[in-house]
Amino acid sequence: MTMSIFNAAAEARDFIFTRLPADATRPRIALILGSGLGAFADRLTSPVMIPFKDIPHFPQATVEGHSGRLVIGDIDGIPVAVMQGRVHGYEGYSPQQVTFPVRVLGALGSSTIIVTNAAGGINKGYRQGQLVVLSDHINLTGSNPLTGPNDERLGLRFFDMSEAYSKRLRGYAHAAAQRVGLDVPEGVYLGVSGPNFETPAEIRAFRTMGADLVGMSTVQEVIVARHMRIEVLGISCVTNMAAGVLDQPLNHEEVIETGEWVKDDFSRLLAAILPMIHTGQVSRAAAED
């Protein structure tokens, strides 16, 4: 990317606006859907579907279970932007490329992002198919997307991460889970670079560090979102128990299969959360006027 990230994101944003109806409302809520979880985008009404490959400067998803398109539409009258899939560092992308879509979502006007992922369960109290609200994360990817010069138009050089995952939004998630009858605990997500699954010794070490979940995405996206002062809600789906928790090998097919059979619970939870976030945004905007 030869131009600045700020200008590249603006160019991608302007292209996306050309694909939307002239009277379209800017989506103030965005979602990033992880492996096997992309079916939620099919619930949008009046969807505009834009493949990642058509958007200027956008990286291309290459992993099974990631459709690789941006879908903009409505859920129960709430305008949302949904990334149906994401890219990862292990595909050969830099941290700046991995997080560029978050920059674009912010440029589109999103002040809230719901990041979701498929994760390995480190916490032995979890079960396969469990949905978990993220309370915090540990970055062991070995890199940070903010390394290098800082553009003050995007965010501060040094910024607070003590509430990477919004307490307010986590409260909405728990209220929504109760409403739809789901048991959704909180947990700490540990991000690694991948693409291999972890060893049993690594999982024991991660458990000692306080991690409940492990995965190959999310943390860099959240760092960039918070850099832009975007509020974040994180939800993991435990698609498999991490290495050594069960006496069986791990594979990506299991991740996709679990995402498929948990998609109804996942969709019900998201559909119940969105009105709460939307109402909260409207109330906060009114208070600021």
Task: Say which of 11, 91, 254, 260 is annotated catalytic.
Answer: 91
* 217 flagged as catalytic: yes
Task: Collect all residues with Cβ–Cβ distance below 8 Å to 150 and sequence separation of at least 6.
Answer: 156, 157
User: Which two three-digit tokens encode residue 262?
Assistant: 């948990």
Task: Say which of 90, 143, 144, 254 is annotated catalytic.
Answer: 90
Q: Is the pLDDT of residue 255 over 80?
A: no
Round to whole Å and give the CA distance between 221 and 100: 9
Task: Say which of 9, 118, 119, 228 is annotated catalytic.
Answer: 118
* 162 flagged as catalytic: no
Instruction: Work out the pLDDT band at 246, boundaries 50, 70, 90.
Output: low
Other C-beta atoms within 10 Å of 26: how many?
A: 14
Task: Say which of 111, 123, 139, 217 is annotated catalytic.
Answer: 217
Q: Is the pLDDT of residue 51 over 90?
A: yes
Task: Say which of 66, 137, 227, 278 is annotated catalytic.
Answer: 66
H-type alpha helices, the chain: 5-18, 95-108, 167-180, 200-209, 219-227, 252-261, 263-288
Q: Is the pLDDT of residue 285 over 70?
A: no
Residue 40 is predicted with a pLDDT of 86
Rounded to the nearest integer, the mean pLDDT of the chain is 90
Residue 243 is predicted with a pLDDT of 62
Residue 252 is predicted with a pLDDT of 59
Judge residue 223's burial from the number of C-beta atoms within 10 Å of its C-beta, 0-12 exposed, 13-18 middle, 19 or more buried: buried
Round to whole Å and give the CA distance between 135 and 114: 13
The pLDDT tens digits of the residues spanning 67-80 come to 689 999 999 899 99
Q: Is the pLDDT of residue 214 over 90?
A: yes
* 111 flagged as catalytic: no
Distances (CA, A) of 123 to 47, 120, 209: 38, 9, 12
Residue labelled with tokens 């998803």? 61
Q: What is the mean pLDDT of residues 26-30?
A: 95
Round to whole Å and give the CA distance between 8 and 111: 19
Out of 169-173, 183-187, 254-258, which region has the weakest mean confidence (pLDDT)? 254-258
Task: Say which of 35, 117, 236, 267 is annotated catalytic.
Answer: 35
User: Shortest CA distance to 199 belongs to which of 245, 243, 238, 142?
Assistant: 243
* 166 flagged as catalytic: no
User: Which two three-digit tokens encode residue 138?
Assistant: 């540990």
Q: For the chain, how many helices (H) and strands (E)?
A: 7, 9
Output 180 or 261, whichever has higher pLDDT: 180
Task: Say which of 9, 41, 81, 88 is annotated catalytic.
Answer: 88
**DSSP letter string over 109-129?**
T-SEEEEEEEEEE-STT--TT
Task: Say which of 252, 260, 271, 276 is annotated catalytic.
Answer: 252
Task: Say which of 123, 236, 240, 267 is annotated catalytic.
Answer: 240
Round to whole Å and give the CA distance between 27 and 113: 10
* 278 flagged as catalytic: no
The pLDDT tens digits of the residues spanning 102-158 come to 999 999 999 999 999 989 999 999 988 899 999 999 999 999 999 999 999 999 999
* 137 flagged as catalytic: no
* 174 flagged as catalytic: no
* 66 flagged as catalytic: yes
Does residue 17 come out as left (phi exceeding 0), alpha (psi in the -120 to 50 range) or beta?
alpha
pTM beyond 0.85: the answer is yes
Percent of the chain exceeding pLDDT 90 equals: 74
* 91 flagged as catalytic: yes
By three-state DSSP, how is residue 280 classified? helix
Round to whole Å and give the CA distance between 86 and 117: 10
Specify the DSSP element, H or E, that contains 50: strand 45-51
